[in-house]
Amino acid sequence: MRLSRLPTPRKQTASGRAQPGAANPPASTRLKRVLWFVALWCAGVAGAMLLALPFRLLMHAAMR
């Protein structure tokens, strides 16, 4: 996944001409990339919360 907005080189055909729509990926590819990013971000947040949960429970038990 590219984070910068640098122009990508266009694909060359056998005749040496660039294809007209080669620089921009189709909307379905872009949507899949965004959905994967959101899914992995949610998994990361959930993993961090599960990692912190035992420590939170220990602190809560210690305060009693």
Residues 13-42: what's their mean pLDDT?
Answer: 82
Residue 21, pLDDT > 60, answer no
pTM for the whole structure: 0.54
pLDDT of residue 64: 87
Confidence band (pLDDT; 50, 70, 90) for 7? low
Q: How far is residue 10 from each of residues 2, 4, 7, 25, 53, measured CA to CA in Å?
A: 16, 17, 9, 11, 49
Residue 62, pLDDT > 90, answer yes
Backbone φ and ψ for 30, nearest 5 degrees, come out as -65, -40
